[in-house]
Chain A
Amino acid sequence: MKMPTKPNRDLVRPSADIIKIERRLFLKQSLSLGALTLLSGCDITDADSVKKVLWGMSRWNDRVQAFLFNPNKLAPTYPESAITKPFPFNAYYSQAEVPHVDGASYKLKLGGSIKHRTPWTLEQLYALPQTSQITRHVCVEGWSAIGKWGGVTFKTFLERVGADLSAKYVGFVCADDYYTSIDMPTALHPQTLLAFKYADEILPAKYGFPMKLRIPTKLGFKNPKHIMAIFVTNTYPGGYWEDQGYNWFSGL
């Protein structure tokens, strides 16, 4: 459809425009990212700005959820008869790829704003005051299951190691290359548990041996399994799923 002469005009005109833009940029000594992305095409700009708005809204929803979070509101608890059997296995990998951590040589590492950073053996952790809960695990996918977890109240543990309880975040590094982080108010919630047991038995590998952080006030993916290290920080640590677009706070 194009006339033979038209491509030449097309070649000339945009370059003239670009020269003009470059001159303007040079003269003003300022560089607008918007103008540059406009040059690379509208579709990309639109997709990027939509993405920016959506991520921005997710950050806004983090703040709203932190505001809605009542540190004294307890998640509903259930009788033993309500426990989902079998409790579903869930991870970003298949059950065959579950990491097997050696309990005998295991030591929980501590980092960040924590006073006593000596690593903890399982024996030492099991000696802490233990409690249990039957609560609902809600997956971001929409399904839910009721289970029984036992362990030490995370607040008790954080106090014992001298963690800075005024810091913003607690981060977790796991044996399955998973990582996540939570807000301090949730870390101090009375039902947030450093769990060593499932259904009164030592956590099997598929449920997160040697320990999982059980948070009945957050979505399932905020409950890290196979925890190898815990750190307290004021720098946003993100998370495996969070960095890909899942909402960070994800409170229930």
Chain B
Amino acid sequence: MAHPASAAAPGRKTVIHPLVVRITHWINAIAIIIMILSGWRIYDASPIFNFDFPPAITLGGWLAGALQWHFAAMWLLVLNGLFYICYGFISGHFKMSFLPLTLRSIWHEFRNLLRGQISHELGVYNAIQRAAYIGVICMGVVLVLSGLSIWKPVQFQELTALMGGYDSARVVHFVAMALVVFFIVVHLTLVVLVPKTFWPMISGRAAGGQEKAK
């Protein structure tokens, strides 16, 4: 099935990011940044690894403040995320943007990447992008589930047990956060390398056609 963008005549601007995707993307961006920065402050109160985050790059000022931010922004993250995921399935957005995806196509794209060739067509995700977006959505789900099992290890004790217990749930929560941070770093680096991808995330529109970035 052809993507609307690839069918468009060159030079004509078409919608490559639906309005719902743009709105939920930016709400998510705000929510996830609050969650990460306040989460670092909470982590610092009792680090699970042999390091802590410099307080200057955290949010909340102290533990109570960080917890207030974390447990306020979680509603934004979860409600927005639920809405996005429901929309993704019901509208066919996930199917259209992320599928088909095979290990073979990821490997093919990876080999291209090593050769310095990135197939880049505005509005169409390559195999690595598809895998990355699916991966980061899954990490969001893991973050929420591990977060719930840390927050409610009695009421949701079955979930906590699924995470391998309370202490293990903290590690799962941390690792999922680290993977999301890794995604964000790569994501932002690519936006800096290919700046014309930025504006369509606000306006939704971009000129059709394929191009290869070296």
Contact = CB atoms under 8 A, between A and B. Distances in A.
A216 interface: yes
Given A76-B157, A136-B153, A141 B46 contact: yes
Which size bracket describes the interface of A in this complex? Answer: 20 to 34
B170 interface: yes
A70 to B, nearest CB: 6
A29 to B, nearest CB: 36
A144 B170 CA distance: 11
Interface stretch (A55-63, A197-205, A222-230): A55-63
Nearest to A244: B64
A252 B67 contact: no
Q: Taking each of A58, A74, A217, A245, which has the highest tally of chain B beta carbons within 10 Å of its own beta carbon?
A: A245
A251 B46 contact: no
B129 to A, nearest CB: 35
Main secondary structure of the interface of B (DSSP, over half): helix
A55 B46 contact: no
A73 B155 contact: yes
A138 interface: yes
B46 A252 contact: no
A68 B71 contact: no
Interface residues of B, number: 23
Contacts of B65: 54, 245
Contact of A245 (B45, B48, B68, B152): B68
28 contacts: A54-B72, A55-B68, A57-B68, A57-B71, A58-B68, A61-B71, A73-B154, A73-B155, A73-B157, A75-B154, A76-B154, A76-B157, A136-B166, A140-B45, A140-B63, A142-B48, A144-B167, A216-B154, A217-B154, A244-B64, A245-B64, A245-B65, A245-B67, A246-B64, A246-B67, A251-B152, A251-B155, A252-B154
Lowest 9 CB-CB distances: which A-B pairs, in order? A245-B64, A57-B72, A142-B46, A141-B45, A141-B46, A54-B68, A252-B154, A143-B46, A75-B154
Interface of B: 42-43, 45-46, 48, 63-65, 67-69, 71-72, 75, 150, 152-155, 157, 166-167, 170
Interface of A: 53-55, 57-58, 61, 68-70, 73-76, 136, 138-144, 216-217, 241, 244-247, 251-252
